[in-house]
Structure 1
Amino acid sequence: MTLLLDPFATAFMLRALAAGVLVAVMCAIVGTWVVARGMAFLGEAMAHGVLPGVAVASLIGAPTLVGAAVSAALMSVGVSVVQRRWRLSADTSIGLLFVASLALGVVIISGSRTFATDATAILFGDILAVRPEQLAALAIAAVLTAVAALMWHRAFVALAVDSRQAQVLGLRPRLAHAVLVGLVALAVISAYQAVGSLLVVGMLLGPAVAAGRWTHRIPTTMALGAAIGAVSVWVGLLISWYAGSAAGATVALTAVVSAAVSTGVRAVVDAVRSRGRGPARPGPAGPAATTTTPAPVSA
């Protein structure tokens, strides 16, 4: 047990673990909806979209969180404007702005000769350098995310099923979609300090996908995803400590691996259950091949 607990006796590792758990909770709440609504591309674009704002903020000495927030807001508004004015699909609009934001961020970074260290932290995170005030900001963001998800739960469910039905029920699907995009932006902005803008999508998707293999109810998927994400943070930090690897990247990789492990374990469990049931008995009219599939659980 000492090998598993000793690394967290240091203050910076304990802060990293706390920050990672808060990120895991936030990303599990938002990531569940991202997976349910097929918004992974938007999440990735939002993660890369904060790069220009963070780069500009770093160059002028402003808080990077402010720069990230401004950049994410511009990305959200830009996707809506391009989609409506240019009459393009959502994927095309997101793709155009995604590439433009990433390229602009790289241009800004390359224009400064003293930006290499900061660029590494922006892209890959620096979870081991989380300060107490950043930890407090993460806690506030996690609470805001949980409250907003609870308040808009009914609208999000209706929006995931059928936006027209949500409109008929008076749940304002456009506003609900805007709130959901805002939650994605909040999760990305808050988490990039820990795992970086390039790796935050792993935390958004990995635990949510892993949890989705075992439950299809939204609240339980969020809870299980948060638990899987927290364990991924703990395991990733341990691997980073003993292997000397980059902490943020190792945590994000562990979160993605959790999805693959969960999928594999689920396949084994299903195979064992199928063998336990045995071959189907022939009916009165002769042998019949039957296939048993689990009934979906409602969200």
Structure 2
Amino acid sequence: MSTLDWLIAPFHADFVLRALGGGVLVALVCGVVGTWVVIRGMAFLGEAIGHGMLPGVAIATVVGAPVVLGAALSAVAMSAAIGLLQRRGRLSYDTSIGLLFVGMLSLGVIIVSHSRSFATDATALLFGDILAVRPEDLALLAAAAVVTCVVATAMHRSFVATAFDARIAHTLGLRPRVAQVALVGLVALAVVASYQAVGTLLVVGLLLAPAVAARAWAARIPAIMALATMIGSAAVLIGLLVSWYGGTAAGASIAGAAVALAAVSGGLRAVRDAVRRRRRNGPDHASSGRPAASSTESLSAAVRVP
């Protein structure tokens, strides 16, 4: 069997081909949203929302409602509660997230523990079942991708200015509070859209790893998003191939491939920077080379404010 045949053979199966299409759409959503998650340091929020979906999914399963609807309602409720606690309480942002994270997860486990028939659905929720993606799931993922791109494009200046300095964003009329709510909403949408593929335990890896890998090679935010989408898509392809030939869980293989690509990307960037410093400055002046652009420089370059 040639290399090309080896790569193509798994995708002769319709369910694997649908899994690839769904995974690429998830990679697009996570590439766009994950870039902001990395820049803004919102990884804990993504993980909390992922686990916070469990009560909604459990209730939806018990009453026979669509699981995605339960997950979405639960994610929205948790996002709103986080914002409410932060605005009206004396708790810090991460403390509010932590308390709600534990509370929602506990509630979900309590509901699951009272339903013996829930075990299979809980496994799919936690670890994903991308090989079970249906045509209607692809339609929902496509809609999520469109919404993500539209909101990210429309709110780009507000997102950048808010990340750089919320006071400046307010002075410029860019409404930082609205931007924060919209960004939290995008994180919730990405988590809900992705759990079918990799589950709530692994969704943070797909949100973070491609964006981290992309930041090693790009400075401007749109470029990071595009590169993160491509890296995420590559992780989906690699993960499905590993799952097919190695008999491993598809969701975990995809998330593992994404983390591995981030590690390889970081290592290659470190080697390239070291070689460039030696060539330009010599061994005695290796430390004087120009450092990679900081997040502040990237943000200030990405927004054009008069």
TM over 0.5: yes
The equivalent residue for 2:112 is: 109
Work out which of the residue numbers 137, 140, 162 in structure 2 matches 1:137: 140
Give the distance between the partners of 1:234 and 1:262, measured in 2 at CA.
17
Offset of residue 191 of structure 1: 0.9
Offset of residue 198 of structure 1: 1.1
The equivalent residue for 1:293 is: 290
Give the distance between the partners of 1:9 and 1:120, measured in 2 at CA.
27
Offset of residue 277 of structure 1: 2.3
Superposed, 1:239-250 pairs within 5 Å as 239-250=242-253
Give the distance between the partners of 1:37 and 1:279, measured in 2 at CA.
36
The equivalent residue for 1:74 is: 77
The equivalent residue for 2:96 is: 93
Name the SS of the counterpart of 1:139 in structure 2. Answer: helix
The equivalent residue for 2:178 is: 175
Of the structure 1 ranges 263-272 and 75-84, higher mean CA displacement relative to structure 2 is found in 75-84
Larger radius of gyration: 1
The equivalent residue for 2:202 is: 199
Name the SS of the counterpart of 1:6 in structure 2. Answer: helix
Give the distance between the partners of 1:67 and 1:4, measured in 2 at CA.
37
Deviations along 1:262-288, whole A, 9 cap, x unmatched?
Answer: 11111111122222225278xxxxxx8
- Residues 278 and 286 in structure 2, CA contact (< 8 A), matched pair in contact too: no
Give the distance between the partners of 1:180 and 1:16, measured in 2 at CA.
27
Q: Report whether the alignment pairs 1:54 with 2:51.
A: no
Give the distance between the partners of 1:215 and 1:13, measured in 2 at CA.
32
Give the distance between the partners of 1:262 and 1:49, measured in 2 at CA.
31
The equivalent residue for 1:267 is: 270
Q: Report whether the alignment pairs 1:222 with 2:219.
A: no
Give the distance between the partners of 1:262 and 1:66, measured in 2 at CA.
37
Percent identical pairs in the alignment equals 62
Letter in 1 for 2:66: P
Offset of residue 290 of structure 1: 5.6
Gaps of 5+ in 1: 282-287
Deviations along 1:141-191, whole A, 9 cap, x unmatched?
Answer: 101100110000010010110000000000111011101111111111111
Name the SS of the counterpart of 1:115 in structure 2. Answer: helix
Name the SS of the counterpart of 1:197 in structure 2. Answer: helix
Deviations along 1:55-113, whole A, 9 cap, x unmatched?
Answer: 11011100011101110111011112222333100000000001111111111111111
Of the structure 1 ranges 119-128 and 267-276, higher mean CA displacement relative to structure 2 is found in 267-276
Give the distance between the partners of 2:76 and 2:177, measured in 1 at CA.
16
Letter in 1 for 2:138: L
Letter in 2 for 1:294: P
Which structure shows the bigger proportion of residues in helix conformation? 2
Change beyond 3 A, Cα 1:61–1:153: same
Give the distance between the partners of 2:283 and 2:274, measured in 1 at CA.
15
Gaps of 5+ in 2: none
- Residues 213 and 228 in structure 2, CA contact (< 8 A), matched pair in contact too: yes
Give the distance between the partners of 1:39 and 1:294, measured in 2 at CA.
25
Offset of residue 289 of structure 1: 8.0
Name the SS of the counterpart of 1:198 in structure 2. Answer: helix
The equivalent residue for 1:285 is: none
Give the distance between the partners of 1:116 and 1:228, measured in 2 at CA.
33
Deviations along 1:239-278, whole A, 9 cap, x unmatched?
Answer: 0111101101111111122211111111111122222225
Offset of residue 291 of structure 1: 1.5
Letter in 1 for 2:173: G
Deviations along 1:211-250, whole A, 9 cap, x unmatched?
Answer: 0011121000000000000000000000011110110111
